[in-house]
Amino acid sequence: MPIDPGVALAAPPTVEEIGWDTSDVLLYHLALGAGAEPVDPAELRYATESGSVVVPTFAVVAPMLRATRPPRVAYPGVEVDLRKILHGSQRVELHNPIPRDGKAAVRTRVADLYDKGSAAVIVVDTEATGIDGVPLWTSSMRMFARGEGGFGGDRGPAGPPDPPQRAPDHTIITPTLPQQALWYRLLGDRNPLHADPAVAEAAGFPRPILHGLCTYGIACRAIVDAVLDGRAERVRAIEARFAGVVYPGETLRTSVWREDGRLLFVSTVDERDNAPALAGGELTVEEGQSA
């Protein structure tokens, strides 16, 4: 049985030590499109050693930076073919700003399993703590495993609400690069769906698609720059649901609403009549400061 809830939910977290340096952070920023204006100081603080900023969504790639093989969905009590998996949503909660050079102990576990009948939802949490004992981030990933439901579990919570029924407070236009997925895969996600045209065609796509987590990072950086005056350290959490595909070279339109001290957002694709890319997005800022 690919999913055994009793084993998966009772298993202790796996623990490993990871490390990263400034070059890893700069590569991540370049893979998100930083440096498009190579003489703009605001861009160079992401793309060179002249800055200290780290886009908060770096947390999702830090544990897999050295991976060179396609990822596996394998945890105690869970073993699912990657071809059955859809990345449903991602949340990162920042406990402290991420340094450009660092080491951390990361603890990963299956936090929840939901039974949708035709599919299972696998919730995997990763907690990172610096070697000095300072908590850095908690990352929560939801994956849909097609054909793996029916084990009698809870269906889980409802999805995020729709955005407010009014014009957005901010609209941010961000072009992506034709080679963007080829950059991003160097951060450890070597799923051939993002690089091999034959694999993409077999999966029903006309060409390789952009990593959902790349779109997630692009949206985060866009909001930080356009709404938070470039102050990435203000971000305390960001989450979004992956609602559709983006092809490298397309243009993202991120709509942002200020609502009860939060920033709600969606990202769509301009070239395909605002086809959805990210939905149910929410970015929260540090306590005591409004968004």
- Report in angstroms the alpha-carbon separations of 198 from 17, 188, 222, 288: 36, 21, 32, 51
**pLDDT in the model for residue 251:** 98
**Rounded CA separation 221/169 (Å):** 17
Confidence of residue 69 (pLDDT cuts 50, 70, 90): confident
**Rounded CA separation 189/195 (Å):** 10
Judge contact between 110 and 75, C-beta under 8 A: yes
pLDDT of residue 51 exceeding 90:
no
CA 126 centroid distance within chain: 13
Judge contact between 89 and 242, C-beta under 8 A: yes
**Rounded CA separation 198/208 (Å):** 9
- 277: tokens are 């890319």
Up-side HSE of residue 278: CA atoms within 13 Å toward CB?
Answer: 29
Among the options 194, 196, 229, 260, which is catalytic? 194
Judge contact between 171 and 252, C-beta under 8 A: no
**pLDDT in the model for residue 158:** 79
**pLDDT in the model for residue 231:** 95
Confidence of residue 83 (pLDDT cuts 50, 70, 90): confident
Judge contact between 270 and 251, C-beta under 8 A: yes
pLDDT digits 0-9 by tens, 190-232: 999 999 999 999 999 999 999 999 999 999 999 999 999 999 9
Among the options 112, 115, 189, 225, which is catalytic? 189
Global pTM reads 0.94
Place of tokens 């700069």: 26
Tell me, yes or no, if 196 is annotated catalytic.
no
Average pLDDT over all residues of the chain: 94
pLDDT digits 0-9 by tens, 260-288: 889 999 999 999 999 999 999 999 998 65
Rounded to 5 degrees, φ, ψ at 20 are -150, 165
**Rounded CA separation 86/108 (Å):** 19
Tell me, yes or no, if 189 is annotated catalytic.
yes
Confidence of residue 177 (pLDDT cuts 50, 70, 90): very high
pLDDT digits 0-9 by tens, 5-46: 999 999 999 999 999 999 999 999 999 999 999 999 999 999
